[in-house]
A and B are shown apart, each in its own frame.
Chain A
Amino acid sequence: DGGITQSPKYLFRKEGQNVTLSCEQNLNHDAMYWYRQDPGQGLRLIYYSQIVNDFQKGDIAEGYSVSREKKESFPLTVTSAQKNPTAFYLCASRMGNYEKLFFGSGTQLSVL
């Protein structure tokens, strides 16, 4: 079945550590997105990518980095510069520009 796979489901970060969240899709979608979800704040866009080897900052990109070396993969790195990383992270993809987003099942990141 086609879909978006996020891993791990739960992730813990130590002080000063970089961690990488995985996002893989087999839907053949060009566009991919990373959202952060905090309680009471809805979803906020971190980064997005329209095509391979290209990506753009969203509304809250500081402290995060991404890469898009393959169409299927869009990993997100939470760097030590992100001082409040505890949140639920959702990856999404889209085929057409005005179609719905398909979401992964998310990664809960917590700080030790």
Chain B
Amino acid sequence: AQTVTQSQPEMSVQEAETVTLSCTYDTSENNYYLFWYKQPPSRQMILVIRQEAYKQQNATENRFSVNFQKAAKSFSLKISDSQLGDTAMYFCAFMRGYGGATNKLIFGTGTLLAVQP
């Protein structure tokens, strides 16, 4: 069974600084997808970034980028120029690349990020 581990329950960063959130996963699959979701205090889940395992290039969305290390099964999220609005719980998630709609997202336990002014 696949598992997702986020070893940092809480992190803090100063505004305008860069922070990296860690995520590791365990799978025997070769075809899969990885996601980072953000849950601000409103509790609305928002997709931050999506990575396809067959793509070697790391995904990037504005100030958010990932460091995808397939062999090490590592998928860290880097937030550059941190803003107060980045304060949120961040979840890493894994999904197999087959199985249709039965294919569920498996979530880590989350990292609570606080951006300090």
Contact = CB atoms under 8 A, between A and B. Distances in A.
Interface of A: 30-31, 33, 40-45, 48, 50, 56, 58, 88, 90, 92, 94, 97-98, 100-101, 103, 105-106
Interface string B13-42: 000000000000000000001010000001
B42 A105 contact: yes
A100 B93 CA distance: 11
Interface in B88-117: 91, 95, 97, 99-105, 107-110
A42 B108 contact: yes
Interface in B62-103: 91, 95, 97, 99-103
B103 A98 contact: yes
Contacts of B45: 90, 92, 101, 103
Interface of B: 4, 9, 33, 35, 42-47, 50, 91, 95, 97, 99-105, 107-110
Given A98-B33, A103-B46, A106-B43, 11 more contacts: A31-B101, A40-B9, A40-B110, A43-B107, A44-B107, A50-B102, A56-B102, A97-B101, A103-B44, A103-B45, A105-B42
A107 to B, nearest CB: 10
A33 B104 contact: yes
Contacts of B42: 105
